[in-house]
Amino acid sequence: MSSTEKNSTAILPTRSLLFLSDVHLGAYSAEKNEVLENDLIRLIDYCAEHELAIVILGDFFDFWMEYPGNRVPPLGQKVLQRFHDFHKQTNSHTLFVTGNHDNWTNGYLRSLGFDVEHEYRIIEESTVSIMVLHGDGLKDPQMRLPRPAMHRFLRNSYFTTLYRKMLPPRFGWMGMRLFSRSSRKSGNRKKNSDRHAILDAWARNRVLTDDRIQAIVYGHHHQSLLWKQNGLTCMNCGCFGTDYTLGLYANKAFELVTWDVDSKTLATSGINADT
């Protein structure tokens, strides 16, 4: 994407948050994954330079199963190392809210400095409280966003323990990859569209009725969305893996942006808020 077609987004020297969702490293060809990693490293460099805190909202990987002894899939090692250095450089911990493709953690991500969350987190800023989540569902029934039965099964600790015992890492990762690939191909478009609408409606209703929060930022369905009403905000960051879209909170405002690989800057996405 050429930077001449967009307006650059200025970042003021105050605490700003960049929301990143649905990278799906491992879902593409080796060449595409290599490009994604390199572009992510440049994005992290940008965040370090401009004092941006990064929030990952799930499905950073297309498949991810950690085994004891820090045995992890051979995915994204360069970008994970850059995150590790970023955490040391900035004395910070990147919040990593896991998604339905990468919630099988066992301590490795935390050892790199990530703050791992499997449900949702409320980020308290000076003027706004932001709920962040992936969007595939929540365990707490009071949240009224139930996970599909298959997602509940895959997140079950008994399943993950048995899976690791039955399959050594090489075959376990192969199974995860095949399952992730088949689930994308077999998805019913109308059913998925209905689920997207349900998730967006849930976010609007939650932010309108939950006094604890003024904004909800999420991912999961890969469709960028920005909704604002009476000082309240719902934002879906879209799919970074295909569109390089992100969510930004800076200068006390929410905005959808894209990572411009040519100029190595954030640029306005051109998506206006739905009010």
pLDDT in tens, 220-234: 999 999 999 999 999
CA nearest to 84, candidates 75, 74, 94: 94
Contacts 24+ apart (CB under 8 A), 107-112: 107/66, 107/70, 108/66, 108/70, 108/72, 109/66, 111/70, 112/80, 112/83, 112/84, 112/87
Give the predicted TM-score (pTM) of the model: 0.91
What are 160-214's pLDDT values in tens digits? 999 999 999 999 999 999 988 877 665 545 456 677 899 999 999 999 999 999 9
pLDDT of residue 273: 67
Percent of the chain with pLDDT over 90: 82
Please report where in the chains the tokens 């050429």 appear, as a residue: 2
Spatial distance between the Cα atoms of 259 and 265, rounded to a whole number of angstroms = 6
Class level of CATH domain 3-268: alpha beta
Domain locations in the chain? 3-268
